[in-house]
Structure 1
């Protein structure tokens, strides 16, 4: 019997009404309908991490919130990240979080928490492009961190109109597209799991 997959999901935004939070939660629920999948939701607001500062790190080490999130990341098989787009790039919050998580700890390899970790990328914006430019930059960053970004992604243009008051997609075609991408990702992670078992 295949053990359950554990996926860690978060959004690169702390706003209460963040479109990307809503999209990440929706994708998480979709993943759990695939069966034998447990998704842990992490709100980055609960992990306040200072801007990366080498002097801070040298004096104090990794911030407690970064260590908590790092431990959570290590205990999961895969990541689901929904990223806002700021001027064509991922949010500073997300970049800073990933920078801290990539730092070495207890003589471990620098990128050990990300190495070969499957990642599903999502984005929602109010504009027409849906966050695709930001995801291209995020994909490059994750490649530098040795993560394994899934080739498929889901972008949601005009997310403020596409999501209803309950955070559900109004358009059945978009519902199917999200379900297809998430299901394909879960299948991909299961295949990797069976190869390494």
Structure 2
């Protein structure tokens, strides 16, 4: 495929989509690499964005664009983080019972929120920010986009797990973050 076959609009959509998706994924992957945990703030961001998209979709007329034509399944997927929060508030984790219906339900909703809501939310956000996303007609670009996002996500994770080579404890403090136990003190060799 030659560069002439890819239109300017398609190239623009591709670049903007790759940047927006990669930044979102890299941030969570980096912190997961540093601490081995997904921070509650990342979960709250997903909840806030999903809930805002869901509520906004209720106030706009149904039009023939992917974003404004959210099916009931899409709205349900966007509601999963709220369902997760409500279940989490009512299931007593202090008396955690691994085989209880409540625990299994919370576990299932947590997995659905992670593996369904986040990708769908990213899709909705990209369609909202880049209304010409449907112009990605070339298979090369459709395959390259998730590959770039995955590559950047893996790179973010690797940077997070290798933070002692790049950052000191002071960098985390100055940035206003929790200081990891295995951080490198200022003046220590990074290896």
Q: TM-score, normalised by structure 2?
A: 0.26
Higher relative contact order (CA 8 A, sep 6+): 2
Q: TM-score, normalised by structure 1?
A: 0.25
**Between structures 1 and 2, the one with greater helix share:** 2
Q: Who wins on radius of gyration, i.e. which is larger?
A: 2
**Between structures 1 and 2, the one with greater strand share:** 1
